[in-house]
Structure 1
Amino acid sequence: MNFSQGRRDFVKGSAIVAGANLLTDSSILRASTLSAPPARQIRVIVWDERQPQQKQVYENFLGNQIAEHLRTHPDLSVKSVALDDLDQGLSDESLGNTDVLIWWGHIRQAEVTPETGRRIVARILSGNLSLIALHSAHWSTPFVEAMNERTRQDAERAYRVPGEGKVEITYTPPKPRYQAPSYEARPTPFARVRKFPDGARKIEVRLPNCCFPAYRPDGKPSSVKVLKPDHPIARDVPSAFKVSRTEMYDEPFHVPEPDEVILEERWEPGEWFRSGMVWQLGKGRVFYFRPGHETFPVFKEPIPLRILTNAVRWLASPKSAEPTGPKGS
């Protein structure tokens, strides 16, 4: 959310160098190799509701399908958990041993409490965790809490300016909680500002709905364009590609303005969506990847899986400009 510019233009938005000296003595080379510490694997949790409908396409559930793919990469250590696991698979010990949390939720979003979402966000803020929210996880508790926190950060930066008088900021959640906005609704988050003669200001910030006005689960194909081909998430991804069967979501997506929009998705009737977005949240990051629906084989297609793998590697290394794995994987 860019409070200084408003939301009026959101629709427009859219090798390591080798050492110079070569060792020729094979014994020195062997000793050097043996003494080098092994690179630590990236620790990933794939969290999934595991609703029964998934088995129409994913015989062992959608989350397990993603986890099995990620396990083919030796630089990744992957754990698959579910809503019905002990502690919902989200104990402090588990989260403390995780670099990237991938989240699939849909029907049972409300069973994950805001307190759990805030625990996850606290780890993101500290730089100990990053989050990937997939498709219908736009309403998942961790993603909503992350977008709320980003909204608060944006508002604090925009309105608490030294020397500009007293400021009171209040935050109002959307009501009712799980209701899609209309096309005519003002995109959230937004702020209403009241100014007083003494220079004081009262700011009411409407928190993001984290939804959009239309969807269509008909399994029609979509066309995806890579807007940032040099981004690590887009590594080895074609500049344009098709998702063979997917659900349609249509803009405007009610979320804070992202720091980067990497992918844009369109459908033949004219709908479009910012389908790969990144937010910096404290020292961590959040990536929203839109293609999906539990009854379509999106995560059996190679390009979405490649994007997901790239995202895991990049999110695990926030200070790195490049993903850490081999090209083409």
Structure 2
Amino acid sequence: MTNALRITVWNENVHEREDSEVAALYPSGIHGAIAEGLRDLLPEATVSTATLEEPEHGLTEDRLAETDVLFWWGHGAHDAVDEAIVERVAERVLAGMGLVVLHSGHFSRIFIRLMGTTCSLSWRDDGDRELLWTVAPGHPIAEGVPDPLVVPAHETYGEFFDVPAPEELIFVSNFSGGEVFRSGLTYRRGRGRIFYFSPGDQKYPIYQQPDIRRVLANAAEWARPEGERAIPTVTNRPRGWFEG
């Protein structure tokens, strides 16, 4: 029997406190909307939230030890995240914790740390329609997701996206203004699985869309740890250890 999934949704929670329009869209915060969707679609999972202003950003050693998959939403306060917490999260990912990075989280310290690139891209915000096309239809993250998935209005992201070549490309977006973007990418770092998913700008009610919530729930299931939770280490086997 599979153990119940333990999910933590992290959000800097800055826009909701400083922008009344964002607060109106997300009265429980972006983290609250994401958590609500995960609870609806994964009723057996334990879903909790954490935010930047909490002690240790809500990502204490104990909290991370009890997290199978961490969702990360950030935009305006990347530099406010303590480097020690970034390293703590990175170590947990290398040891097997799943990580789902959302929207402007491409510029988060944790994503840049794990990718080893600038993670830069092109962007503009004219409220363009976005179509997410499934290019890996057999992948678990795409299960039950319409093709294309339509986001009526969104901030536009475009190539070049400076990330390593993904292990799997799940979604590619095109926008009504002409841009294309690799919007759903998977990676492995150490024993941990990582999924980057670009939809979710704070000015749009994207995390209330059922199809977007389905992607996030699928991603949580896909990113769950497999096997031992420990950072891979160097081993030194003595001569003759295997004589079979």
TM-score normalised by structure 2 residue count: 0.87
1:277-292 equivalence runs, <5 A: 277-292=185-200
Note the C-alpha offset of 1:317: 4.6
Cα distance in 2 for partners of 1:229, 1:119 equals 34
Cα distance in 2 for partners of 1:139, 1:275 equals 14
- In structure 1, give the amino acid aligned to 2:83: P
TM-score normalised by structure 1 residue count: 0.65
Question: What's 1:272 paired with?
Answer: 180
Cα distance in 2 for partners of 1:234, 1:318 equals 20
For residue 101 of structure 1, the aligned residue among 49, 60, 70 is: 70
> Percent identity at matched positions?
36
Q: Which runs of 5+ in 1 are unaligned?
A: 1-37, 149-207, 320-329
1:128-147 equivalence runs, <5 A: 129-147=97-115
Cα deviation, 1:80-135, whole Å, max 9, x if unaligned, reads 111001211010010010000001111111111233212111111111x1111100
Cα distance in 2 for partners of 1:101, 1:257 equals 22
Cα distance in 1 for partners of 2:114, 2:10 equals 16
- Asked if 1 retains the 8 angstrom alpha-carbon contact of 2:37 and 2:208, the reply is no
* DSSP-derived class of the 1:247 partner: strand
Are 2:8 and 1:45 aligned? yes
1:226-305 equivalence runs, <5 A: 226-305=134-213
- Asked if 2 retains the 8 angstrom alpha-carbon contact of 1:285 and 1:318, the reply is no
* DSSP-derived class of the 1:243 partner: strand
* DSSP-derived class of the 1:278 partner: strand
Cα distance in 2 for partners of 1:140, 1:216 equals 19
Note the C-alpha offset of 1:145: 1.1
1:1-329 equivalence runs, <5 A: 39-51=2-14, 52=16, 53=19, 54-72=22-40, 73-127=42-96, 129-148=97-116, 208-212=117-121, 214-318=122-226
Cα distance in 1 for partners of 2:211, 2:152 equals 11
Note the C-alpha offset of 1:222: 0.6
Cα deviation, 1:179-217, whole Å, max 9, x if unaligned, reads xxxxxxxxxxxxxxxxxxxxxxxxxxxxx11111x2112
Cα distance in 1 for partners of 2:207, 2:24 equals 13
Cα distance in 1 for partners of 2:218, 2:190 equals 21
Cα distance in 2 for partners of 1:269, 1:247 equals 11
Note the C-alpha offset of 1:40: 2.2
- Asked if 2 retains the 8 angstrom alpha-carbon contact of 1:275 and 1:291, the reply is yes
Cα distance in 1 for partners of 2:43, 2:146 equals 24
Question: What's 2:232 paired with?
Answer: none
Return the index of the structure with the highest Cα Rg.
Answer: 1
Question: What's 1:7 paired with?
Answer: none
Note the C-alpha offset of 1:218: 2.1
Q: Which runs of 5+ in 2 are unaligned?
A: 228-244
Note the C-alpha offset of 1:39: 4.3
* DSSP-derived class of the 2:133 partner: strand
88-97 vs 235-244, which moves further = 235-244
Note the C-alpha offset of 1:219: 1.9
- In structure 2, give the amino acid aligned to 1:95: L
Aligned residues: 221
- Asked if 1 retains the 8 angstrom alpha-carbon contact of 2:98 and 2:225, the reply is no
Distance 1:90 1:111, change over 3 A: same
RMSD across aligned C-alpha pairs, in angstroms? 1.4
Higher helix fraction (1 or 2): 2
